[in-house]
Amino acid sequence: MKIGIVGTGQVGATAAYSLVMQGIGNSIVMVDRNEAMARAQAQDIIHATPFAAPINVYPGGYDDLDGAGIVVLAAGVSQKPGETRIQLLDRNAAVFADVIPAVLKAAPNALLIVATNPVDIMTHVAQTISGLAPERVIGSGTVLDTARFRSLLAGRLSVSPKSVHAHVLGEHGDSEVLHWSGATIGGLPVNRYADQIGRPLTAADHETIDAGVRRAAYTIIEGKGATYYGIGAGIAHIARAITSDQRTVITVSKVESSVMGVGPVAMSLPRVVGAGGILSTLQPELTDGEHQALVASAEILFDAARQVSKIPV
């Protein structure tokens, strides 16, 4: 499958690199308004293919997206000093208003994976502009937050992250909800597993892990300016589920007419992802506190979306 990457900065380029290293797709076309950047990124990544998969990676324009089954949207602008979040959202929505019609003109059957932040609102923008069915517009959502949750639990309990099943729901941002009550290892609730191995999880452990997940981006950005390795791998994970029709459960963002009485809103829930995009959405069992927190997250996203001119709500 041909995969397009629109926006070849750190996130877009790292996503392309992750696709190559994991052998996902058979060709990757990199599109950017800065053509020199797209050429340089493609050339750098193609030099890694002798050590990974023989995937053709090349720069191109929108016309070169013809036949792409997936297009990753990683284009966007940076926040200016003194600029509000909504002003930034409107500028990024304007970018999408230019980009998405050009993408769909060349690749009308492509699934869109949205990586531009704030990803939930930009997923809503992308679905509105594109007019595509919501299941064909997939926001990366909390795929990375879920990975952070699993990795921190795994580190605390000395088990492989692949054996940890836990999800982060709602916004990819401060209001996200760690679904502690649904977290399991080896078929056991995570707290029971911890007790069985003699390493019980304390309230302090819960707070430390919650902060580690919720504040990870701030810590990384403070240290090196941006996050890109984790989300690059997360985008590749979503793309593999599509290209291989894996029907994998992934916490990704999608526009819903209503979530717990709030909507329309784009937010993350566990969703089955395969060749057709988002095939179904799961409704996790929640404690009262988790339910209230998820409603609050949905309301925050709904209120933000109402202020973006490209979203009619």
Residues identified as active-site? 172
Contact between 175 and 304 (Cβ < 8 Å):
no
- Torsion sign over Cα 254, 260, 261, 262: negative
Classify each residue of 27-62 as buried b or exposed e, where b means 16 or more C-beta atoms within 10 Å of its C-beta.
ebbbbbeeeebbbbbbeebbeeeeeeeebebebbeb
| Beta strand ranges found along 131-247 (DSSP E) | 137-139, 164-165, 168-169, 177-178, 184-185, 188-189
**Which helix (H) or strand (E) element contains residue 192?**
helix 190-196
**How do strand 70-73 and strand 277-281 relate by DSSP bridges?**
unpaired
In sequence order, which residues have a C-beta less than 8 Å from that of residue 82 and are 6 or more positions away?
none
Give Cα 186 distance to the centre of its chain: 26
